[in-house]
Amino acid sequence: MPQTDFLVIGSGIAGLTFALKVANRLPNSKITIITKADESESNTKYAQGGIAVAQKTRFDSPKHHIADTLKAGDGLCKKEIVEIVVKEGIPRLKEIIKWGARFDKKSSGQFDLGMEGGHSAKRILHHKDITGLELERKLLQQIHRKKNISILPYCYAIDLITEHHKKQKSSEEINCFGAYILNKSTNKIEKYLARITLLATGGAGQVYRNTTNPLIATGDGIAMACRAGAIISNMEFIQFHPSALYNPGESPSFLISEAVRGFGAYLLTKEKRRFMFDFDKRGELASRDIVARAIDYEMKKSGDECAYLDCRHLDVKEFKKHFPNIYNKCKTLGINIKNDLIPVVPAAHYLCGGIKTNSQGKTSINRLYACGECADTGLHGANRLASNSLLEALVFAHRCFLDAIKSYSKFKLETKIPEWNQKGTTRPKENILITHSRTELQIIMSDYVGLVRSNSRLRLAKKRIKMLEEETIHLYKRSILSPQLCELRNLITLGKIMIEHSIKRNENKGVFYKI
Ligand SMILES: Cc1cc2nc3c(=O)[nH]c(=O)nc-3n(C[C@H](O)[C@H](O)[C@H](O)COP(=O)(O)OP(=O)(O)OC[C@H]3O[C@@H](n4cnc5c(N)ncnc54)[C@H](O)[C@@H]3O)c2cc1C
């Protein structure tokens, strides 16, 4: 029976950083990372813009970064968490640099800091426009060197193991004893017992039709935590990225980084009207919620399918140097940025809420931690400031690590857990129902629970999703499980929570806008 001291679910920046830290500090402990796809597949891998870290200089300071984060969060950030993340980001940055992560520098040797919407100073460290890939690669290189870490790709976590599964249910409190894992190569469901479990399962952009998130971003960790009885908070705050490349049929949507606007690109309507100053005095550098709603407004008013980014006035050589990935992507679609406009639309990008944690990353369930995009630490409030999420993942992976190593040895591996029971289930004859229901859910969420919401649309969405839920639960109970079916169940759970939280909120804040 698989047993481990630390079970880490997810191999993005949050999970890998936590695992690495534990492995370094406790060389005799056993750490198991399970991840549902290839080991590098994650939101992390696709992060472009970079990581926001404010050093104290003539032009910037942590104080300014704190103020910008609080402003973006629109009064709902936890101030003490914002201060922790901004201040502790500085030593965490030094650590990843020590682990080999490279950030672009100027000829003077200083970091070539980028500017992004909502920031009052240039403070974004980046590796060209593939910062996430650089971090993911360097973290994985370090992980592979550790003898006490096993990383198991193509293993899908279905559910957390808690008292609910125990043969003898003893306490009122909920404890996490590990997770049931579906190994995709053997098609067997195994129970992984652990002293400590960390959920680092990332975001949930796949709830929507247009999203910058890869296919793995189905909110599994949040749905699992919810089923286990954990507190889930702030799920009405979904950040839509203003500028995903408009290329119908491409999923996930390719992101045109915020940094392109920071570099000087303009936003235009089809008639080539620069419109952002009609909405905010910061123009194209207003925070994401404002830019996304402005584009949505202009698109709805004109009936156009997209807006446009204008880079024609920019230095192409410099653009290519800073954004080689974006430049090449445009080129493959026949868009020459010197002469052509880049078509863009808003797309679901980042989940501000999630599994509620305290300042050490502990969830409301004992022995269960959460960090990264699946967690709600209180940093983002009603809106995430650009490039604060990689930073948050690093800082909270460290905090979870510090807390978990203090207590792990006092927790015993629980032995009275039954094997997964598949009795009476059969393999579904066809999978079309799963694919169709996933698409239907995405359409309902995009049309009724998008950038601009109303209670009547939310109630309609709730009713439609209830039907999908009933069908899916029926299928779940009689089927041999597949990741696709589990993901559908999880996406429906998240959709429901997002709707419930949106109905409850009566004040427009940050990215949340209800008419
Ligand atoms: C296109 C794009 C650009 C971005 N740009 C930036 C940026 O410039 N700066 C910034 O700060 N942020 C950016 N973000 C956001 C940032 O990348 C993410 O918030 C961050 O990487 C999340 O890290 P994570 O470790 O929490 O989750 P992820 O990196 O998403 O990792 C989640 C992991 O969990 C695994 N997993 C999920 N469910 C299961 C399951 N059931 N069983 C097993 N494994 C599972 C996944 O396979 C994956 O390995 C961007 C996001 C996107 C999509």
Q: Could you please report the per-residue DSSP string of 201-243?
A: ----GGGSSSBSS-TT-S-HHHHHHHHHT--EE-TT-EEEEEE
Q: Is the CB of 262 under 6 A from ligand 1?
A: no
Q: Is the CB of 47 under 6 A from ligand 1?
A: yes
Q: What is the pLDDT of residues 65-102, one digit of tens each?
A: 999 999 999 999 999 999 999 999 999 999 999 999 99
Q: What is the mean pLDDT of the chain?
A: 95
pTM: 0.94
Q: Is the CB of 11 under 6 A from ligand 1?
A: yes
Q: For residue 250, give Cα distances in angstroms to 239, 255, 257, 327.
A: 20, 11, 17, 17
Residue of minimum CA distance from atom 41 in ligand 1:
157
Q: What is the pLDDT of residues 129-185, one digit of tens each?
A: 899 999 999 999 999 999 999 999 999 999 999 988 876 666 678 999 999 999 999
| Strands 188-199 and 3-9, sheet pairing | parallel
Q: Which of 123, 209, 261, 288 is catalytic?
A: 288
Distance CA 514, CA 456 (A): 10
Tokens of 146: 């550790």
Distance CA 57, CA 213 (A): 34
| Strands 342-351 and 178-183, sheet pairing | unpaired
Q: For residue 320, give Cα distances in angstroms to 38, 106, 244, 314, 338.
A: 30, 16, 18, 10, 11
Q: Is the CB of 46 under 6 A from ligand 1?
A: yes
Instruction: Give pLDDT, residue 424.
Output: 86
**Using CA atoms in the order 74, 75, 80, 82, what is the torsion angle rounded to 10 degrees?**
0
Q: What is the pLDDT of residues 473-497, one digit of tens each?
A: 999 999 999 999 999 999 999 999 9
- Pick the atom of ligand 1 nearest to 44's CA: 21
Q: What is the pLDDT of residues 13-46, one digit of tens each?
A: 999 999 999 999 999 999 999 999 999 999 999 9
Residue with the larger pLDDT of the pair 141 and 257:
141
Q: Is 92 a catalytic residue?
A: no
User: What is the arithmetic mean of pLDDT over 284-298?
Assistant: 90
Q: What is the pLDDT of residues 94-131, one digit of tens each?
A: 999 999 999 999 999 999 999 888 899 999 999 998 99
Percent with pLDDT over 90 in the chain: 88
CA of 373 from ligand 1 middle (Å) equals 7
CA of 73 from ligand 1 middle (Å) equals 20
Residue 273 and residue 145 in contact, taking contact as beta carbons nearer than 8 Å: no
User: What is the arithmetic mean of pLDDT over 327-356?
Assistant: 97
Instruction: Give pLDDT, residue 168.
Output: 64
Q: Is the CB of 115 under 6 A from ligand 1?
A: no
Residue of minimum CA distance from atom 3 in ligand 1:
47
Distance CA 216, CA 219 (A): 8
Collect all residues with Cβ–Cβ distance below 8 Å to 501 and sequence separation of at least 6: 233, 234, 235, 236, 353
User: Sign of the C-alpha dihedral, residues 372, 438, 300, 275?
Assistant: positive
Q: Is the CB of 117 under 6 A from ligand 1?
A: no
Q: What is the pLDDT of residues 385-439, one digit of tens each?
A: 999 999 999 999 999 999 999 999 999 999 889 999 888 898 887 789 999 999 9
Q: Is the pLDDT assigned to residue 214 strictly greater than 80?
A: yes
Q: Which residue stretches of 110-204 are H helix?
A: 131-144
Residue with the larger pLDDT of the pair 169 and 197:
197
Instruction: Give pLDDT, residue 7.
Output: 98
Domains defined along the chain, listed by start = 3-236+352-410 (3.50.50.60), 238-349 (3.90.700.10), 432-504 (1.20.58.100)
Q: For residue 422, give Cα distances in angstroms to 46, 368, 481.
A: 36, 26, 9
